[in-house]
Amino acid sequence: MISFPFAKINLGLNILKKRADGYHELETCFYPVKGLYDALEMIPSTTQSSNLTAFNSDWEGPKEENLVWKAYQMFLEFVPKMEPMDWFLYKKIPSGGGLGGGSSDAVFALRLMAEKCEWSRNDPRLLQMANQLGSDCAFFLFDTPMLGIGRGEKLETAKLSQEKFRIEIVFPGTHISTKEAFENIKPSFPTKSISEILKQPIHSWKDDLKNDFEDSIFPKYPELAKIKEELYKKGALYASMSGSGSTMYGLFSA
């Protein structure tokens, strides 16, 4: 069985406040980028043990630290008698760029196993496991834009402007850790919610739709601000950083 975990971009990202549990309350729109994806294959093992092999990946270390393997082990808690499986992951989504590749891989592992076990895509156990794997993981159970609140795990279908656009993605190769991204964040509540802004014409997003991480990251990595400027010069209707970076993207008329 094979699947193609897709990337995501964030249309806006507001950091609202620091929570008592140490996380931040946020608001964002997760948007699927189905033209950029990894490949994940699951096949019955030819031995008595399971394994994970990754290609074109900068992942190093024991398989136990990989999100695909964590998802597999989590699923086995519900189906302990599943036959041993081998996993093959081919990476195309850049790692550490704010595109959600690792999260997508993990959730598509869950989706493959659910299909094998004939679980419904709406099975609440899938959402439970996705939320345990990471704050943005639950989004990858869906194939449509979703508004995320809380830590990003509380989702509802996003209503977007009806204008069609194409996405151009620029990954400069800069790796920014989540810790580094949050270092200089100043949480605040915007005057207008992301859900409101997304219903407006796309050309108005430039003035209203923000990724709060840009304020903390651009001063340290001015090359990212330059990429954003270049995307607008090329005719982008809207340009932004995805997540905590460093991937930049532009939305252009289709």
The pLDDT of residue 86 is 96
Looking at 157, 190, 218, the residue that finishes a domain is 157
pLDDT at 96: 81
Are both 10 and 119 inside the same structural domain?
yes
- For the segment 4-11, the average pLDDT, to the nearest whole number, is 97
Instruction: Looking at the structure, tell me whether residues 150 and 173 fall in a common domain.
Output: no
- 115 & 196 share domain: no
Mark whether 151 and 178 lie in a shared domain: no
- Are 45 and 51 in contact by the 8 Å Cβ rule? The answer is yes
Q: Domain range for residue 77?
A: 2-157
Residues 44 and 144 in one domain: yes
The dihedrals phi and psi of 80, each to the nearest 5 degrees, come to: -65, -20
Could you tell me the CATH number of the domain that includes residue 203? 3.30.70.890
Give the pLDDT confidence score for residue 188 in this predicted structure.
82
**Residues 68-109: tens digit of each pLDDT:** 999 999 999 999 999 999 999 999 999 888 999 999 999 999
Average pLDDT over residues 209-224: 94
Query: Residues 138, 206: one domain?
Result: no
Q: Could you tell me if 189 and 223 lie in one domain?
A: yes
Q: How confident is the model at residue 46 (pLDDT cuts 50, 70, 90)?
A: confident
pLDDT at position 56: 84
Same domain, 153 and 170: no
Q: Regarding beta strands 146-150 and 154-157, do their DSSP bridges make them parallel or antiparallel, or are they unpaired?
A: antiparallel
Active site residues: 8, 136
The more confidently predicted of residues 222 and 23 is 222
Same domain, 112 and 210: no
What pLDDT is recorded for position 6? 97
What's the mean pLDDT in 172-185? Answer: 83
Among 116, 131, 157, the domain-final residue is: 157
Same domain, 230 and 182: yes
pLDDT surpasses 90 at 162 = no
**Torsion, CA 208, CA 213, CA 215, CA 220, rounded to 10:** -150
Contact 131, 103 (CB under 8 A): no
Residues 223 and 103 occupy one common structural domain: no
For the stretch 243-254, pLDDT in tens is 988 999 999 998
Look at the chain and report how many structural domains it folds into: 2
3-state secondary structure the chain: CEECCEEEEEEEEEEEEECCCCCEEEEEEEEEEEEEECEEEEEECCCCCCEEEEECCCCCCCHHHCHHHHHHHHHHCCCCCCCCEEEEEECCCCCCCCCCHHHHHHHHHHHHHHHHCCCCCCCHHHHHHHHHHCCCHHHHHCCCCEEEEECCCEEEECCCCCCCEEEEEECCCCCCCHHHHHCCCCCCCCCCCHHHHCCCCHHHHHHHCCECHHHHHCCCCHHHHHHHHHHHHCCCCEEEECCCCCCEEEEEEC
Query: What pLDDT shows up at residue 250?
Result: 98
Q: Please identify, among 114, 137, 157, the residue that sits at the C-terminal boundary of a domain.
A: 157
Same domain, yes or no: 114 and 238: no
For residue 135, give the CATH number of its domain: 3.30.230.10
174 Ramachandran zone, left/alpha/beta (phi>0; psi -120 to 50) = beta
